[in-house]
Amino acid sequence: MSAPDLGRRALLKGGLLGGAGAFTLAGAVASSGAASEGSAPGTSSTGTADLVVPFHGEHQAGITTPPPPHAVFVGMDLDDGVGTTELGRLMRVWTDDISRLTAGVAPVTDQEPEVAARPAGLTVTVGWGPGLFDRLGLDDRRPSWLAPLPPMPVDDLDEAYGGTDLLLQLCSHSPVPLAHARRLLVGAARGIATPRWVQPGFRDPGEQAGLAFRNEFGQVDGTVQPDVADRDADLLWIGPASASHPGWVGGSSLVLRRIRMDMEDWERADRVAREHAVGRDLATGAPLTGGEESTPVDLHAVLPSGLPVVDRHAHVRRASPHAPHERFLRRPYSYEQVGTDGTVETGLLFAAFQADPVRQFLPVQRRLAEGDLLNIWTVPVGSAVYAVLPGCAEGDWLGRALLV
């Protein structure tokens, strides 16, 4: 085990994890050691406080990891004058901090080790945005597809939630280690990068096991997903053939869209109108053409009148792939932005991971923007695209192959 810049505690923890079982794509293991220190007053753990999701591996965690109830996306821009040297320094520091925090071990600069000791399945996923390549002159290492999405007719984008040079996606079963890790990682970037936006999201803790969840419209969302653990793996991960640079193999991409939902107007729509717009039964998530949540929708089914059962503009039809490659891993969260005037903006942090967003995501997005009935009640207000770095082995650091 060679990990020159990890301390003794981290190595011990690493060894413990290494011995606990083989790395699984979506696996999380409970580290009995992680919460043994300073856990008062949390002796009444619900069982998630000690969860550890392995950090090291071919891919970063937080992508195929089942989404826990809390997430926060942090978009950061490089400070003026920062070059590849400083970016490399930041990536080394972040790699060290993330490997510790996710293992339940306090980084050296961390003054709240008791909070760090309860990671609750913390994952941190790092991405690079288009601006980073422009700013640092790294065009030869830029993925061909890495650019903002073209403007969509439904968009009402606010640059306050636009694409940034760097992205951190943090997820956990508890908002406490999430806040702690966010502060520590943002603090570690001081002088190199500054947050432009922070977008927290949530899911129902009762829905941890799968990717599907009930969004704020009450709609079961995220049912149809590619089989990324097996036959659809090439839809998620950048492979040697498509990588613009070998340093991207094992990476992915993230499209993050902030979609505001008009809850007041949605309340005026009755169940029939809602199910017509979605194309699914709201109670069970089953398609209107019958069956259960996992039953494929029959887009050819017609009513006795000859009209389609699923409307031409129903969400489920517009979102259906026209070709096998038009699929991607969706890992969305709900959000609530509380104003200082008693108002609350409600919406969805739509997060999609795929090997190539232009080839896989964009055609679907175009169909939705053109004629999804849900557009009546939704407006995209933020949009960003990132290249997600491959994972790294112990002793290595995120992005090294792209910077040295």
Catalytic residues: 221
Kindly give, in sequence order, each residue whose CB lies less than 8 Å from that of residue 132, ignoring residues fewer than 6 positions away: 78, 87, 138, 165, 166
DSSP-assigned beta bridge partners for residue 126: 168
User: Given the complex with its own copies, which of 72 and 243 has the nearer CB atom?
Assistant: 72
Residue with token string 């972040």: 94
Piece in contact with its own copies (CB under 8 A), picked from 10-18, 128-136, 266-274, 383-391: 266-274
Whichever of 56 and 280 has its CB closer to its own copies, that residue is 280
Which one of the spans 6-14, 283-291, 319-327, 396-404 is the region binding its own copies (CB under 8 A)? 283-291
Among 26, 160, 229, 376, binds its own copies (CB under 8 A): 160
**Least distance in angstroms from the C-beta of 211 to its own copies:** 9
Nearer to its own copies, 1 or 209 (CB): 209
By C-beta, is 289 or 365 nearer to its own copies? 289
Q: How far is the CB of 369 from its own copies (least distance, A)?
A: 24
* Alpha helix segments (H runs only) across 320-388: 357-360, 362-371
The tally of CA atoms less than 13 A away on the side-chain side of residue 89 is 11
Q: Does 79 bind its own copies (CB under 8 A)?
A: no
Is residue 271 helix, strand or coil? helix
CB 154 within 8 A of CB 369: yes
**What are the tokens at 160?**
């306050």
Tell me the window of 141-149, 270-278, 298-306, 396-404 that interacts with its own copies (CB under 8 A): 270-278
* Using rule CB under 8 A, residue 114 touches its own copies: yes
* Region of 68-76, 129-137, 141-149, 321-329 interacting with its own copies (CB under 8 A): 68-76
Regarding 346 and contact with its own copies (CB under 8 A), the answer is yes
Q: What is the SS3 assignment for 351?
A: strand
Nearest by Cα to 179 from 255, 127, 118: 118
Give yes or no for residue 330 binding its own copies (CB under 8 A): no
* Using rule CB under 8 A, residue 337 touches its own copies: yes
DSSP string, 6-72: S-HHHHHHHHHHHHH----TT--EE-TTTTSSS-TTTTS--S-TTEE----SSS-SSSSSPPPSEEE
Reference 367, options 312, 316, 319, 309; nearest CA is: 319
| By CB under 8 A, residue 284 contacts its own copies | yes
Q: Extract long-range pairs of 222-230: CB within 8 Å, 24+ residues apart.
A: 222/330, 222/331, 222/332, 223/285, 223/293, 223/294, 224/296, 224/327, 225/327, 225/329, 225/330, 226/327, 226/328, 226/329, 228/25, 228/64, 228/329, 229/25, 229/26, 229/64
Q: Which amino acid is at 378?
A: T
- Candidates 19, 44, 300, 305: give the one binding its own copies (CB under 8 A): 44
At residue 324, what is the residue type? P
246 lies in the site for its own copies, by CB under 8 A: no
Q: From residue 167 to residue 196, what is the string marking binding to its own copies with x (rule CB under 8 A)?
A: ------xxxx--x--xx---x------xxx
CA distance 203 to 229: 23
Q: Measured between alpha carbons, how far is 210 from 68 in angstroms, rounded to an integer?
A: 10
Q: Which is nearer to its own copies, 120 or 374 (CB)?
A: 120
Does residue 148 bind its own copies (CB under 8 A)?
Answer: no
For its own copies, which is the closer residue by CB, 215 or 320?
Answer: 215
Among 271, 302, 370, 393, binds its own copies (CB under 8 A): 271
CA distance 8 to 182: 24
- Which one of 9-17, 96-104, 207-215, 311-319 is the stretch in contact with its own copies (CB under 8 A)? 207-215
What's the closest the beta carbon of residue 313 comes to its own copies, in angstroms?
21
Nearest distance from C-beta of residue 93 to its own copies, angstroms:
16
Report yes or no: 297 and 279 within 8 Å, Cβ to Cβ: yes
* Least distance in angstroms from the C-beta of 356 to its own copies: 28
- CB-based contacts of 284: which residues, under 8 Å, 6+ apart? 220, 292, 293
Which of residues 19, 81, 240, 342 is near its own copies by CB under 8 A?
342
Question: Which of 348/401 has CB closer to its own copies?
Answer: 348
- Comparing CB distances to its own copies, the nearer of 195 and 363 is 195
- State the minimum distance, in angstroms, from the CB of residue 351 to its own copies: 17
- Rule CB under 8 A: is residue 120 a binding residue for its own copies? yes
Site for its own copies in 362-401 (CB under 8 A): none
**What counts of helices (H) and strands (E) characterise the chain?**
12, 13
